[in-house]
Amino acid sequence: MPDLIVNKVAESGLVSLDLETYYPRETIAVFDMKNYLFMELILKEKDFREAMKQLDWSQYQDKYVAITCTADAVIPVWAYMLVASGLQPFAREIFMGTAEEFHKKIFIDRLHQIDPQEFLDKRVVVKGCGETPIGDFAYLEITSILRPVAKTIMYGEPCSTVPVYKKK
């Protein structure tokens, strides 16, 4: 009888979790308030309101939109509110901050959609070293989501893991 090849990884009972599955790939549009300021520094209410009336908001249809100001200017709160009211009927979601900050928020929101109970008393390997550069924040977030329920949490690949947490 020939020697059987045994897949010890498959028999180990490890559950692999690939964070790339939750990685946001959508483009984030940036609404820069600087473009609507006088000399890119001063908000003139009348001019700003007119510019908002003339703006074709439909260009933001179904998009994630980060509202920011890349100029060192003082923007009154109502101006951000005015932009949000113009975007709201069109944009998929609106965020105050940079595109990078919004990307991080979307990623964290997606991780929180994971049902932790699926990992109850399981041995979980959070996959590392993938094609997509996953930020450190995502590994921190998934650890805090899984720790209350998982039996063990490891980082890496099922064939080579680094232990992170083991329930006592």
Q: What is the pLDDT of residues 109-118, one digit of tens each?
A: 999 999 999 9
- Domain spans of the chain, in order of start: 8-24+104-166, 28-98
Answering whether pTM is above 0.75, one says: yes
Identify the band that residue 12 occupies on the pLDDT scale cut at 50, 70 and 90. low
pLDDT, one tens digit per residue, over 60-111 is 999 999 999 999 999 999 999 999 999 999 999 999 999 999 999 999 999 9
Q: Does residue 137 carry a pLDDT above 90?
A: yes
d(Cα 70, Cα 49) in Å, to the nearest integer? 19
Q: Does residue 42 carry a pLDDT above 70?
A: yes
pLDDT of residue 40: 86
pLDDT of residue 2: 61
